[in-house]
Amino acid sequence: MSSKRNLVFGSDHAGLALKGVLKARAEELGFTLVDLGTHDSASTDYPDWAHQVAARVAAGDEWGVLVCGTGIGVCITANRHPGVRAALCGDVFSAKMTRAHNDANVLCLGARVVGEGLALEIFDAFLAAEFEGGRHQRRIDKIDIGAS
């Protein structure tokens, strides 16, 4: 397990149930977490939650977990924040590699795409993988427009 970051969760209504499952897993693993919302099943707009989570991640040393129906909307939104590297993962290999090579700091999941079992495996893999640094840091340094 990599050094434990505080986790900041967010979802829209479509991601609410899966977010609950992931929060329970995070607690089991000993992570400190905060859930910025949504907190009920009323229809809501995914950017509202993704912006809040991404702002926290951009400002500090926390990691984000965002869930919507597909995971796509929250991922697009979060990546508008400089310094945020949000990765939409639908398989375990991608979850591991986006930590190892992209130093991803936000995991995005699609609650209508992956079942709970796979989502938990993806979540565990993301949290456990270590960033490899080196040439991957050089590439990350080129991501933001105007940075290279």
From the list 50, 68, 88, 119, which residue makes contact with ligand RB5 (rule: CB under 6 A)?
68
Q: Is the CB of 70 or the CB of 79 nearer to ligand RB5?
A: 70
Q: Does 46 bind ligand RB5 (CB under 6 A)?
A: yes
Q: Return d(Cα 98, Cα 7) in angstroms, integer.
A: 17
> Which residue among the candidates 68, 75, 89, 108 is catalytic per the annotation?
68
> Tokens at residue 84, please?
């945020």
Q: Is the CB of 74 or the CB of 127 nearer to ligand RB5?
A: 74
Whether 47 contacts 73, CB under 8 Å: yes
Q: Does 62 bind ligand RB5 (CB under 6 A)?
A: no
Q: Return d(Cα 14, Cα 137) in angstroms, integer.
A: 34
Known active-site residue 39: no
Element (H or E) spanning 87, and its range? Answer: strand 86-88
Strand pairing class (33-35; 7-11): parallel
Q: Return d(Cα 93, Cα 86) in angstroms, integer.
A: 16
Q: Does 69 bind ligand RB5 (CB under 6 A)?
A: yes
From the list 7, 10, 12, 57, which residue makes contact with ligand RB5 (rule: CB under 6 A)?
12
Active site residues: 68, 101
List contacts with ligand RB5 (CB under 6 A): 12, 14, 46, 68-70, 72-73
